[in-house]
Amino acid sequence: MILSTWAAPAVHAAVWSTSATSTSTSGSPTVPSTSIVYTSNATGTTSTAPTANYEIFVANDDGTGAHRLTFDTSYNSVWPRISPDRTRILFYRTLASSSITDYTQMSLWMMNADGSGIKELLAEHVYGWAAQGHAEWSPDGKHLVMFAEVPTPQLFVTAADGTSPRLLTARPEPSFDPSWSPDGRTIVFITCAKMPCPMTASDVFTIPSAGGSITQLTSDNLRDNDPYFSPDGSHVVFESQLATPTSTWPAGVWELQTVGSNGTGLHVVLSDGNVNTTARWSADGTTLYFSRFVYGARKFQVWTMHTDGFDLLQVTHSLSANSEMVGP
């Protein structure tokens, strides 16, 4: 299967200014708790022209002080994820000539919080994987969960450096978009209850991180993607596709929903005829950071809102570049 057909729309952009990292008690630089990271094809200068490739940026959580962390125009650098101790950042790379959602060309990398010490963890097609993506840190920072195509997408858990891969799912149905519960005992992810498994049948499921039986949380007859637990583990946020791409809605229409971690209390948080995707919770669980494309605005940007759907606020404001894949 073509993995990009399962991927949620990507988001993009920022404005360059100076920003300092904090320092941990061990002396290592850290991403401040009040900062976010994201992917953008902004130039990193005062120029309004976007670059041909995507880089990783860090900014204050209100979008100010945006600062570029990667500087390699031969790659697209995407999907940044901050380690639990906030000293390291995971991210993926594809060649600049490739799509930022082409999982068949992705490799996994890591850098320090200030952008130094960049190193490759998982090369393209490592372990015989035809594709890979969506790596997420375990709460204790000792493991990663991700999906890889073998030959259908399945979930793997590795050590924090990408070694010792362990197959978590082995199902006929594709499994992807994994992330951890706050206590590290559960993985939430996307799959189908049974074959056949069209995109419109994808739902939110959980599985013990040690392996075992899966539990279905949603059954909404919509294409669901990118589930994330709330910091207290009581809810999961995810996006659902209400309309596929058309001439009127070239990126489709996506809404944000939450569901209780026991599968009850399905609730629409934001559904306004635009594209709202890849939502992440703030550390205190009161705010959602997400990628948003407003029809007429032409570019994806990072937005925030209260978890009840109120106080919608745009964080990045480039008119010519995209900003997305935010990681608080």
Over residues 177-228, the pLDDT tens digits come to 999 999 999 999 999 999 999 888 899 999 999 999 999 999 988 999 999 9
11 has pLDDT over 50:
no
In sequence order, the 6+-apart residues with CB closer than 8 A to the CB of 189 are: 147, 155, 169, 175, 176, 177, 178, 179, 204, 205, 206, 207, 227
Q: Which domains does the chain have, with CATH numbers?
A: 3-327 (2.120.10.30)
Least confident of 85-89, 218-222, 277-281: 218-222
Q: Is the pTM of this model over 0.85?
A: yes
Over residues 230-245, the pLDDT tens digits come to 999 999 999 999 999 9
Range 68-91 average pLDDT = 97
Mean pLDDT across the chain, nearest whole number?
Answer: 90
User: Closest Cα partner for 38 from 62, 14, 74, 4?
Assistant: 14
Which tokens go with 50?
A: 């976007």
User: Rounded distance, CA 23 to CA 150, Å?
Assistant: 40
Query: 42 exposed, middle or buried (CB, 10 Å; 0-12, 13-18, 19+)?
Result: buried
User: Rounded distance, CA 301 to CA 318, Å?
Assistant: 8
Over residues 251-277, the pLDDT tens digits come to 899 999 999 999 999 999 999 999 999
Long-range contact pairs involving 194-203 (C-beta distance under 8 Å, separation at least 24): 197/172, 197/173, 199/5, 199/6, 199/223, 199/241, 200/241, 202/6
Over residues 38-56, the pLDDT tens digits come to 999 987 554 455 667 999 9
